[in-house]
Amino acid sequence: MSQKNKNILLIAGFILTIIMSYYLSFSKTIAVKKELTKLESKNISFESLANLSATIKQREFFADSILKKTILKTPRYKIISLLF
């Protein structure tokens, strides 16, 4: 076998090895990476929901405190007229 034929077989084998390794492992790794990225973005949105929930609770507490102060200062007949 001549050196030229050996080199051609070597290059063909190398290309075949790269193609096989892509289909057997690299494609699965890329798919898992895409899924991981998608799940991480969902996780970030859940974290932002937790922060939003905490902010809403703080605002609710603040609004309740203002309402309590307002109700204590306002005569009852004015409060009833505001409600209806």
- List, for residues 21-62, the tens digit of each pLDDT value: 888 887 888 888 899 888 887 776 766 777 777 788 888 888
Count Cβ atoms below 10 Å from residue 22 Cβ, excluding itself.
13
pLDDT (0 to 100) of residue 73: 66
Residues 71/79, Cβ–Cβ less than 8 Å: yes
User: Is this structure's pTM higher than 0.85?
Assistant: no
